[in-house]
Structure 1
Amino acid sequence: MGIVTLIGAGQMASALTFPLFENGNEVRLVGTPLDGEVIARLREDNYHINLDRTLHEGIKYYTVDQVEEALDGAELVVCGVSSFGVDWFLNNMFKLIPEGVPVISVTKGMIDLPDGTLQVFPEYWQEHMPEGVNVELFAIGGPCTARDLSDHDHSFVAYCGKDLKKLEWIRSHFETDYYHIALTDDVVGLEAAVALKNGYALGTAMAIGLKNRLGDDGIAHVNSKSALFQQSVWEMYQLLDIVGGNQKMIMYAAGDLDVTVAGGRSRKVGQYLGEGYSMPEIEEKLAGQTLEAVVIATRTARAVKAMAKVGKVKESDFPLLMHVDQCLNHGAKVDIPWKDFQTITCDAIK
């Protein structure tokens, strides 16, 4: 079909090579400065040491110093960096992308501004694009783990962007009989939904840790985890409206929340908090891993506090988020504020 260059050899970008390659695209995977070992091993036998999967024979691998070669002739670029690489990509990659070549991003997260505004990454990039650079941006969101995608498990996600015709063209490079893609022009709604879910997955997973701390008491504790899931969806629903997204995007937040609570780093942080570990202890246990859930929960809580100071919202409308923030940043121990959930939800239903 065409030449697709993926910048960032993380798990999700690398998993996307499966549908791209199987659709007949020439696939080029570029490592960031942090991906040296990954690219070195891929060049040996196509095995991805973090994804724990073997990629297709025929994919081309590049180190970051070869990125211009990897971009030569590319018709589409995938941004595959984590949220910690947002400014690196902004300052170093956009200026190298040939004019007219669109970029679709798998990077999840938001920036919080001093007035409490939460800005999704495509907005942030567009606002701070290097002088003279004009790149059309698109993004991916929805419930999809990299390993399940690599294994061809049925996945249903959404791609967003303002140009739906161009988005249909992008979809044609990725969509397969197992990778299903809806399209939306609600960039803020989709990207905020799937960013928020990381912080709330942490909050929901605290119930898993509390169960572990109690040991084998013969109780499944499914109710408590589901209650935190429910509260998470409610608070994310409110936040979607605040950031200016369509609240219908809650379906992607809920789906992504479910898959994230099932496993991964966001779950581990919440689980360890529930088990009684402090954040310094958790950071030591997860050393070397990017804790994006901590960042988005902290930024969202900070934004809510800033908006509350000027009367735009009330902190008490987000009791789970506020409790997560206390545990992450102020040394509090997990003590789920059940009564606060009950009050705010009942008031909203009236």
Structure 2
Amino acid sequence: MGIITVIGSGLMGSAMSIPASDNGHLVRLVGTPLDREIIRSLQEKNVHPTLPCTMPDGISAFQFEDVRKALEGADLVICGVSSFGVDWFAQEALPLLPAGVPVLNVTKGLLGHSDGSLETFPHFFARLRPDLSFAAIGGPCTAYELGDRRQTLVCYCSEDLATAKFARDLLKTPYYHIVPTTDVIGVECSVAMKNAYAMGVSLAIGMSEAENEQQRNVKKVENSLISGAHDGKLHYNPQAALFAQSCIEMRRLVRLLGGNGDLVGGIPGAGDLYVTIFGGRTRRLGTLLGRGLPYSEVKKRLAGVTLEAVSVTTRVAEALRIRAKHKEVSLQKFPLLMHLDALLNQEAPLALDWESFGESGMQE
């Protein structure tokens, strides 16, 4: 039995406490300053306000001012903040971590720099705390389904394979399966970009909805997963084409950054992209854009919703533009991503260039 401290009590951070607790570990769940109501609810009722499952016994909840107590004797620390909380974690939590304790990161995203380089969060944290070992999680895993103990397969990546295996051995269960790898760039780039490209695939859903509404005298088809069209058929072809293009561009980006592009076809790439398309805020964002709404209107409709897809799309597109100026990459290899950036940051009209998609004649 070990002690696992989770900092960040949002959906995924809290969901990670479930396999940890099921394995008999003592779990200490620490809230950020934005999580005060969550921690209060857990302390008083053992109920998480937004994660629809019963939290196991043996999980202790701490407000952040008690984080030092929660870190005492920890065998593993899990960073459970979103990408918008990375700077806070780096400034407020990371300096407090005991020397030598391994850190497992659930946060998805990439940091952009002025020279066009992109940095993963584990590499960023390691620059700040070189005395610690860092690993990260990548793969198709929703907090809700992990909380329900659904069969789940993810990657744990770390430049130190022993760290990834250590975290795996603490957290693997009969329903939570973990593949360790040393390819941090391949995993982290894939899982970050899946948010951008899930928005891209969802454009086709919105396009189908808009077409459906234009057919006034034909019965509207509704489906809770894939929107129907006016002819009563499901429009899979456009979504599949955008899904394939997304994988092509993710593979190109992973290889550009020095990772293994083959991972894009597996758990952290296609796998995570698939599950992200089928629900939540990123799907809704892409659907609204696909219906032809300008992003300024979409923002109003999704006010208060954390849109990680917007930040990663903007950041990576800017990095590619910088690299293109230095003749390091051709933007023609990323037509879908660059159009997504134009939709978000230039209020460009939806105009997918289908002829630019695919791999024919493009050197990898």
TM-score bin (small chain): over 0.9
Instruction: Report what 1:248 is aligned to.
Output: 262
1:195 alignment partner in structure 2: 192
Q: Deviations over 1:235-282 (max 9, x none)?
A: 001001001111122112110000000012111111111122222222
Separation in 2 of the partners of 1:277 and 1:302? 23
Q: Identify unmatched segments of 5+ residues in structure 1.
A: none
Asked whether the equivalents of residues 273 and 333 of structure 1 are also in contact (C-alpha less than 8 Å), the reply is: no
What's the secondary structure of 2:179's corresponding residue?
strand
- What is the CA-CA distance between 1:341 and the residue it aligns to? 1.0
Kept in 2: contact 1:120–1:188 (CA 8 A) = yes
Partners of 2:207 and 2:237 in 1: how far apart? Answer: 12
The residue identity in structure 1 corresponding to 2:88 is W
The TM-score, its normalising length taken from structure 2, stands at: 0.92
Conserved 8 A contact 2:135-2:163: no
Distance in 2, Cα, partners of 1:42 & 1:282: 34
CA offsets, 1:209-234, max 9 Å, x none? 11111124123111111110000000
Aligned to 2:226: none
Deviation string 1:10-64 (CA, Å, 9 cap, x unpaired) is: 1111111111000000001001011111111122322222222221122100111
* Contact 1:94/1:135, CA 8 A, preserved across alignment: no
Contact residue 202 and residue 287 of structure 2 kept, 8 A: yes
Cα distance in 2 between the residues matched to 1:280 and 1:41 = 35
2:30 counterpart of 1:30? yes
Q: Given the alignment of the two structures, is residue 330 of structure 1 paired with residue 346 of structure 2, yes or no?
A: yes
1:56 aligns with 2:56: yes
The more displaced of 240-249 and 274-283 is 274-283
What SS does structure 2 have at the residue aligned with 1:283?
helix
Give the distance between the partners of 1:47 and 1:347, measured in 2 at CA. 55
Write the letter of the residue equivalent to 1:154. Answer: Q
Query: Equivalent residue for 1:231?
Result: 245
Shift in Å at residue 155 of structure 1? Answer: 0.5
Per-residue deviation, residues 139-158 of structure 1 (Å, max 9, x unmatched): 11111111011111111001
Structure-1 separation of matches of 2:341 and 2:335? 10
**3-state SS, counterpart of residue 357 of structure 2:** helix
* 8 Å Cα contact 1:141-1:158 kept in structure 2: yes
Q: CA deviation at 1:134?
A: 2.0
Q: TM-score, normalised by structure 1?
A: 0.95
What residue ranges of structure 2 are gaps of 5+ in the alignment? 213-219, 221-229
Tell me, yes or no, if the aligned pair for 1:9 and 1:38 is still in contact at 8 Å: yes
- State the alpha-carbon separation in 1 of the partners of residues 243 and 195 from structure 2: 12
Which secondary structure state, in structure 2, belongs to the residue aligned with residue 346 of structure 1?
coil
What is the identity, as a one-letter code, of the residue corresponding to 1:146?
A
1:295 is matched with 311
Does residue 138 of structure 1 match 2:135?
Answer: yes
Asked whether the equivalents of residues 133 and 163 of structure 2 are also in contact (C-alpha less than 8 Å), the reply is: no
Give the aligned partner of residue 148 of structure 1.
Answer: 145
In structure 2, the residue matched to 1:275 is 291
Q: Is the 8 A contact 1:193 1:236 kept in 2?
A: yes
Task: Indicate the residue corresponding to 1:304 in structure 2.
Answer: 320
Q: Stretches of 4+ moved more than 6 A in 1? A: none
Q: Secondary structure at the match of 1:35?
A: helix
Q: Measure the CA separation in 2 of the matches of 1:170 and 1:339.
A: 45
Q: 2:208 aligns with which of 207, 211, 222?
A: 211
Give the residue type in structure 2 aligned to 1:37: E
Q: How far, CA to CA, are the matches of 2:118 and 2:32 in structure 1?
A: 27
Take 1:127 and 1:169, find their aligned partners in 2: how far apart are those partners? 21
Residue by residue, what CA displacement relative to the aligned partner does 1:319-338 show, whole Å, maximum 9, x if unpaired? 10011001000001222110
* Corresponding letter in the other structure for 1:204: V
- Measured after TM superposition, the shift of residue 108 of structure 1 is 0.6
Query: RMSD of the TM alignment (CA)?
Result: 1.4
User: SS at 2:99's partner residue?
Assistant: coil
Alignment length (residue pairs): 345
Is the Cα contact below 8 Å between 1:6 and 1:80 reproduced in 2?
A: yes
